Structure 1
Amino acid sequence: MSNMEKTTPLRVDMHTHILPKHLPDLSQKYGYGGWISTEPLPNGQARMMLDGKPFRDICCNCWDADERISDCKKTDVDVQVISTIPVLFNYWAKPEHCLDLAKYLNDDIASTCEQNPGKFIGLATLPMQAPELAVKELRRCIEELGLAGIQIGSHINDWNLDAPELEPIWTACEELDVAVFIHPWDMEQKGRMSKYVVSLADWHAM
Structure 2
Amino acid sequence: MQRLFTIDIHTHILPEHIPNFAKKFGYGGFIRLDHHKPCCARMMIDDRFFREVQDNCWSPQTRIKECNHHRVDVQVLSTVPVMFSYWAKPLDALAVSEFLNDHIAQIVREYPDRFVGLGTIPMQAPDLAIRELERCVKELGLAGVQIGSHVNDWNLDAPELFPIFEAAEKLGAAVFVHPWDMMGAEKMKKYWLPWLVGMPAETSLAICSMIFGGIFERLPNLRVAFAHGGGSFPATIGRIQHGFEVRPDLCAIDNPIAPKHYLGKFYFDSLVHSPEMLTYLVDLVGANRIALGTDYPFPLGELEPGKIIHSLPYSDDLKEQLLSGSALEWLGLKKSDFAFVQSWDF
TM-score (norm 1): 0.89
Structure number with bigger Rg: 2
SS in 1 for 2:16: coil
Correspondence 1:196 to 2:208: yes
Amino acid of the residue matched to residue 99 of structure 1? L
Equivalence for 1:166: 161
Q: Which deviates more, 177-186 or 46-55?
A: 46-55
Among 95, 100, 103, the alignment partner of 1:108 is 103
Aligned residues with identical type, % of pairs:
50
Two-structure CA RMSD over aligned residues (Å): 2.6
1:185 offset after TM fit, Å?
Answer: 1.6
Equivalence for 2:26: 31
1:54 offset after TM fit, Å?
Answer: 2.2
Report the number of matched residues.
199
Task: Write out aligned runs for 1:4-43 (5 A).
Answer: 8-43=3-38
Equivalence for 1:85: 80
Equivalence for 1:53: 48
Equivalence for 1:3: none
Equivalence for 1:4: none
Equivalence for 1:155: 150
Structure 1 residues 48 and 202 mapped into 2: Cα distance closer, same or farther (>3 Å)?
farther
Correspondence 1:73 to 2:105: no
Rounded to whole Å, the distance in 1 between the matches of 2:24 and 2:233 is: 36
Which sections of structure 1, spanning at least 5 residues, go unmatched? 1-6
Among 162, 178, 195, the alignment partner of 2:173 is 178
Structure 1 residues 182 and 195 mapped into 2: Cα distance closer, same or farther (>3 Å)?
closer
1:85 offset after TM fit, Å?
Answer: 0.2
SS in 1 for 2:161: helix
SS in 1 for 2:44: strand
Structure 1 residues 105 and 201 mapped into 2: Cα distance closer, same or farther (>3 Å)?
same
1:195 offset after TM fit, Å?
Answer: 9.2
SS in 1 for 2:155: coil
SS in 2 for 1:97: helix
Query: Contact between 1:14 and 1:81, CA under 8 Å: does it hold in 2?
Result: yes
1:24 offset after TM fit, Å?
Answer: 2.2
1:45 offset after TM fit, Å?
Answer: 1.0
Structure 1 residues 70 and 79 mapped into 2: Cα distance closer, same or farther (>3 Å)?
same
Correspondence 1:134 to 2:146: no
Query: Contact between 2:149 and 2:206, CA under 8 Å: does it hold in 1?
Result: no
Rounded to whole Å, the distance in 2 between the matches of 1:177 and 1:166 is: 17
Q: Deviations over 1:90-127 (max 9, x none)?
A: 10000000000100000000000000121000000000
1:202 offset after TM fit, Å?
Answer: 11
Which sections of structure 2, spanning at least 5 residues, go unmatched? 184-200, 210-230, 236-266, 269-329, 331-346
Q: Deviations over 1:126-184 (max 9, x none)?
A: 00000000000000010000000100000000111111001110111011011000001
Task: Write out aligned runs for 1:118-133 (5 A).
Answer: 118-133=113-128
Amino acid of the residue matched to residue 142 of structure 1? V
Greater helix fraction, Structure 1 or Structure 2: 2
Rounded to whole Å, the distance in 2 between the matches of 1:44 and 1:114 is: 24
